[in-house]
Amino acid sequence: MISPACRDALQTWLQGLSALNGAAAHTISAYQGDLAGFLIFMTEHSGTPQGLGALARISTTDMRAWMARERRSGTGARSLARKLSAVKSFYRWLAEREGFEPTAVLAARAPKFQKKLPRPLAEEAARAVIEAVEGQSETDWVAARDVAVVTMLYGCGLRISEALGLEGRHAPLPASLRISGKGGKERLVPVIDAARKAVDHYLQLSPHPQAPDKPLFRGVRGGALNPRQIQGAMARARAQLGLPATATPHALRHSFATHLLEAGGDLRAIQELLGHASLSTTQAYTAVDTAHLMAVYNRSHPKA
């Protein structure tokens, strides 16, 4: 059982995450489950109720015992890393509030795990998907809309939320767009002719009048387009083409980065186009194989 004092502290922390940090409901629920499991284990491990004072005395050995128990129960490395992150976040807050040193908890190391690399589409497959998306709706303007969105994803490397966040004031599309990405970070993204033409074609067919402060891409009833509509069109297109389930709208953004790099694009320039804070993220994002990179090297290096 979790002591009343610990339960109250946990609820106060979760409420703060929701109110101050704007954490999503599913994130709050996941944190609550992770912390409840941790606190229950510590109670059972020590054999005594874990009040706030007892939590302040948790040792490195206690943390290792908890992590070992999680692994024995089948928790994967990725999931355990997520749980440990939640525990550390709670402890930073609790230590500041209660005035104790949380070193034993914060020093615990998450298990290493192999990050899942994105799976971009081959260039031919990416083009085929865009063409196939057009045939997934019997309504001409809806088909044109979906093609315009996926062309923006592949042609400009946008996240689907960024494409659907465009407004009427952005049309007709300029030579480059100022995009506000994750964390409010802005970047300048060139707009290729194919994307501009696809959006123009959609606007010509759309029955909904455009307004500067309204979404550029509309749903059937005129409201903001739900990303599930694009995901559904992509799902039907990949089924038609026999592509794997990894051929999602987000895979088009991965494909944009990978194909640019394959064509000899500079990794740091691609980092800027994608809006990545870290170059290592961009490196993981692309899927250019070593053989291809060596071929480019051998062709371009002055001593090759």
Residues identified as active-site: 159, 182, 250, 253, 276, 285
Residue 45: which residues within 8 A CB-CB, separation 6 or more?
Answer: 62, 65, 66
Helix (H, G, I), strand (E, B) or coil at 298: helix
User: Which of 299, 221, 302 is closest to 262 using CA atoms?
Assistant: 299
Other Cβ atoms less than 10 A from the Cβ of 39: the count is 21
CB crowding 223-261: b at 16 or more within 10 Å, else e = eebebebbeebbbebbeeeebeeebbbebbbbbbbbbbb
Please give the C-alpha separations between residue 137 and each of 52, 199, 233, in angstroms, as whole numbers: 59, 17, 8
DSSP structural state of residue 209 = P
For tokens 């891409």, name the residue. Answer: 217
SS3 261: helix
Q: What beta strand segments (E) does 49-181 contain?
A: 176-180
| Dihedral over Cα of 34, 44, 61, 7: its sign | positive
10 Å Cβ neighbour count for 12?
Answer: 13
